[in-house]
Amino acid sequence: MNKRGIQYNMNYGVSIIHIRQYAKELGYNHQIAQKLWKENMRETKLFALYLFDPKLITEDDLNEIILQINNTELAEQASFSILKDAVIPQNILMEWCQNSSQAVKLTAYSTINRKFKTNTMIEFDFGLFFDVLYHEIAQDFILPTKSISFALSEIARKGCTDKIETFLKKLETIDTKQSTFIVDCVKNEMNMNNI
Protein backbone atom coordinates (compact mmCIF):
# COMPACT_ATOMS: atom_id res chain seq x y z
CA MET A 1 0.00 0.00 0.00
CA ASN A 2 2.83 2.39 0.80
CA LYS A 3 4.29 1.83 -2.67
CA ARG A 4 0.93 2.89 -4.16
CA GLY A 5 0.87 6.06 -2.04
CA ILE A 6 -1.73 4.74 0.40
CA GLN A 7 -0.36 5.67 3.79
CA TYR A 8 -1.82 5.64 7.28
CA ASN A 9 -0.32 6.01 10.74
CA MET A 10 -1.58 2.50 11.51
CA ASN A 11 -2.86 -0.21 9.20
CA TYR A 12 -4.05 -3.59 10.47
CA GLY A 13 -4.87 -4.86 6.98
CA VAL A 14 -8.54 -5.67 7.60
CA SER A 15 -10.23 -6.21 4.23
CA ILE A 16 -12.71 -3.63 3.02
CA ILE A 17 -15.23 -6.47 2.55
CA HIS A 18 -15.13 -7.23 6.28
CA ILE A 19 -15.34 -3.56 7.18
CA ARG A 20 -18.44 -3.13 4.98
CA GLN A 21 -20.09 -6.28 6.37
CA TYR A 22 -19.58 -5.22 9.97
CA ALA A 23 -20.74 -1.66 9.26
CA LYS A 24 -23.86 -3.06 7.58
CA GLU A 25 -24.63 -5.16 10.66
CA LEU A 26 -24.32 -2.09 12.90
CA GLY A 27 -26.16 0.35 10.67
CA TYR A 28 -25.63 4.09 10.62
CA ASN A 29 -24.19 5.66 13.75
CA HIS A 30 -23.27 9.23 13.05
CA GLN A 31 -21.80 9.94 16.48
CA ILE A 32 -19.44 6.97 16.42
CA ALA A 33 -18.52 7.72 12.80
CA GLN A 34 -17.42 11.23 13.76
CA LYS A 35 -15.18 9.87 16.52
CA LEU A 36 -13.71 7.14 14.33
CA TRP A 37 -12.98 9.60 11.51
CA LYS A 38 -10.74 11.64 13.84
CA GLU A 39 -8.42 8.65 14.37
CA ASN A 40 -5.62 8.30 11.84
CA MET A 41 -5.89 4.56 11.36
CA ARG A 42 -6.92 2.92 8.11
CA GLU A 43 -9.68 0.79 9.59
CA THR A 44 -11.26 3.56 11.68
CA LYS A 45 -11.33 5.94 8.68
CA LEU A 46 -12.89 3.32 6.38
CA PHE A 47 -15.33 2.14 9.02
CA ALA A 48 -16.42 5.74 9.67
CA LEU A 49 -17.23 6.27 6.00
CA TYR A 50 -19.79 3.45 6.17
CA LEU A 51 -21.25 4.54 9.52
CA PHE A 52 -21.94 8.19 8.66
CA ASP A 53 -25.65 8.77 8.19
CA PRO A 54 -26.18 10.58 4.86
CA LYS A 55 -29.34 12.22 6.23
CA LEU A 56 -27.47 13.78 9.14
CA ILE A 57 -24.33 14.93 7.39
CA THR A 58 -23.92 18.69 6.98
CA GLU A 59 -21.95 20.67 4.41
CA ASP A 60 -19.35 21.40 7.11
CA ASP A 61 -19.08 17.67 7.86
CA LEU A 62 -18.66 16.93 4.16
CA ASN A 63 -15.89 19.47 3.73
CA GLU A 64 -14.12 18.26 6.86
CA ILE A 65 -14.23 14.68 5.63
CA ILE A 66 -13.20 15.47 2.06
CA LEU A 67 -10.31 17.73 2.93
CA GLN A 68 -8.83 14.95 5.09
CA ILE A 69 -8.92 12.36 2.32
CA ASN A 70 -5.32 11.82 1.32
CA ASN A 71 -5.21 8.60 -0.70
CA THR A 72 -7.02 6.67 -3.42
CA GLU A 73 -8.50 4.07 -1.10
CA LEU A 74 -10.28 6.66 1.04
CA ALA A 75 -11.34 8.61 -2.06
CA GLU A 76 -12.95 5.58 -3.68
CA GLN A 77 -14.59 4.27 -0.52
CA ALA A 78 -15.98 7.72 0.36
CA SER A 79 -17.66 7.94 -3.05
CA PHE A 80 -19.06 4.39 -2.66
CA SER A 81 -20.41 5.02 0.83
CA ILE A 82 -21.46 8.31 2.39
CA LEU A 83 -21.01 10.61 -0.61
CA LYS A 84 -23.21 8.79 -3.11
CA ASP A 85 -26.22 9.18 -0.78
CA ALA A 86 -25.45 12.54 0.83
CA VAL A 87 -27.03 15.72 -0.50
CA ILE A 88 -24.07 17.62 -1.95
CA PRO A 89 -24.68 20.96 -3.65
CA GLN A 90 -23.01 21.11 -7.06
CA ASN A 91 -20.97 24.17 -6.13
CA ILE A 92 -19.25 22.10 -3.42
CA LEU A 93 -18.57 19.25 -5.85
CA MET A 94 -17.06 21.77 -8.28
CA GLU A 95 -14.84 23.21 -5.52
CA TRP A 96 -13.58 19.69 -4.83
CA CYS A 97 -12.92 19.17 -8.57
CA GLN A 98 -10.63 22.22 -8.46
CA ASN A 99 -8.86 21.40 -5.19
CA SER A 100 -5.06 21.22 -5.24
CA SER A 101 -5.16 17.73 -3.68
CA GLN A 102 -5.28 14.87 -6.17
CA ALA A 103 -7.13 12.72 -3.62
CA VAL A 104 -9.85 15.36 -3.25
CA LYS A 105 -10.19 15.67 -7.04
CA LEU A 106 -10.41 11.89 -7.34
CA THR A 107 -13.10 11.85 -4.66
CA ALA A 108 -15.11 14.52 -6.49
CA TYR A 109 -15.09 12.82 -9.89
CA SER A 110 -15.70 9.38 -8.36
CA THR A 111 -18.66 10.83 -6.46
CA ILE A 112 -20.12 12.37 -9.62
CA ASN A 113 -19.76 9.00 -11.32
CA ARG A 114 -21.42 7.10 -8.44
CA LYS A 115 -24.25 9.62 -8.11
CA PHE A 116 -25.11 9.30 -11.79
CA LYS A 117 -24.76 5.52 -11.68
CA THR A 118 -27.11 5.22 -8.66
CA ASN A 119 -29.51 8.03 -9.72
CA THR A 120 -28.78 10.05 -6.58
CA MET A 121 -27.68 13.21 -8.40
CA ILE A 122 -30.56 15.57 -7.66
CA GLU A 123 -29.65 18.66 -9.68
CA PHE A 124 -26.73 19.07 -12.03
CA ASP A 125 -25.77 22.00 -14.24
CA PHE A 126 -23.82 20.41 -17.09
CA GLY A 127 -22.62 23.79 -18.35
CA LEU A 128 -20.96 24.56 -15.02
CA PHE A 129 -19.46 21.08 -14.79
CA PHE A 130 -18.06 21.21 -18.33
CA ASP A 131 -16.65 24.72 -17.75
CA VAL A 132 -14.82 23.62 -14.58
CA LEU A 133 -13.56 20.42 -16.18
CA TYR A 134 -12.45 22.17 -19.37
CA HIS A 135 -10.53 24.77 -17.34
CA GLU A 136 -8.77 22.07 -15.31
CA ILE A 137 -7.81 20.11 -18.44
CA ALA A 138 -6.77 23.24 -20.38
CA GLN A 139 -4.46 24.23 -17.53
CA ASP A 140 -2.93 20.75 -17.86
CA PHE A 141 -3.18 20.16 -14.13
CA ILE A 142 -2.53 16.58 -13.07
CA LEU A 143 -6.00 15.07 -13.00
CA PRO A 144 -7.59 11.70 -12.14
CA THR A 145 -8.19 10.98 -15.84
CA LYS A 146 -9.74 7.53 -15.36
CA SER A 147 -12.30 8.88 -12.89
CA ILE A 148 -13.10 11.78 -15.18
CA SER A 149 -13.56 9.37 -18.09
CA PHE A 150 -15.85 7.14 -16.02
CA ALA A 151 -17.92 10.14 -14.92
CA LEU A 152 -18.31 11.42 -18.49
CA SER A 153 -19.22 7.93 -19.74
CA GLU A 154 -21.82 7.54 -16.99
CA ILE A 155 -23.35 10.93 -17.85
CA ALA A 156 -23.59 9.80 -21.49
CA ARG A 157 -25.35 6.60 -20.36
CA LYS A 158 -27.96 8.68 -18.59
CA GLY A 159 -29.14 10.16 -21.88
CA CYS A 160 -26.77 13.08 -22.31
CA THR A 161 -24.83 11.73 -25.29
CA ASP A 162 -25.15 14.94 -27.31
CA LYS A 163 -23.73 17.05 -24.47
CA ILE A 164 -20.83 14.65 -23.98
CA GLU A 165 -20.04 14.50 -27.71
CA THR A 166 -20.03 18.31 -27.91
CA PHE A 167 -17.75 18.49 -24.87
CA LEU A 168 -15.37 15.88 -26.31
CA LYS A 169 -15.04 17.91 -29.52
CA LYS A 170 -14.11 20.91 -27.43
CA LEU A 171 -11.56 18.83 -25.49
CA GLU A 172 -9.93 17.67 -28.72
CA THR A 173 -8.85 21.26 -29.35
CA ILE A 174 -6.65 21.21 -26.23
CA ASP A 175 -4.46 18.38 -27.54
CA THR A 176 -2.58 17.29 -24.43
CA LYS A 177 -1.90 13.75 -23.23
CA GLN A 178 -4.63 14.10 -20.62
CA SER A 179 -7.25 15.48 -22.96
CA THR A 180 -6.44 12.82 -25.58
CA PHE A 181 -6.66 10.05 -22.99
CA ILE A 182 -10.02 11.28 -21.71
CA VAL A 183 -11.49 11.73 -25.19
CA ASP A 184 -10.27 8.29 -26.34
CA CYS A 185 -11.52 6.52 -23.21
CA VAL A 186 -14.97 8.09 -23.32
CA LYS A 187 -15.37 7.50 -27.06
CA ASN A 188 -14.30 3.86 -26.67
CA GLU A 189 -16.73 3.38 -23.79
CA MET A 190 -19.56 4.95 -25.75
CA ASN A 191 -18.79 2.83 -28.84
CA MET A 192 -18.46 -0.43 -26.88
CA ASN A 193 -21.76 0.14 -25.10
CA ASN A 194 -23.60 1.63 -28.10
CA ILE A 195 -24.26 4.87 -26.23
What are the start-end ranges of the H helices in 39-81?
Answer: 42-51, 59-68, 72-80
pTM: 0.87
90 sits in which H/E element: helix 90-97
pLDDT at residue 36, rounded to an integer: 94
**C-alpha–C-alpha distance, residues 15 and 19, integer Å:** 6
Q: Please give the sequence-ordered ranges of beta strands (E in DSSP) within the chain, or none if there are none.
A: none
Per run of 10 residues, the mean pLDDT along the chain (length 195 residues) is: 65 88 93 92 94 92 90 92 93 94 94 93 91 91 90 91 94 92 94 82
pLDDT at residue 4, rounded to an integer: 62
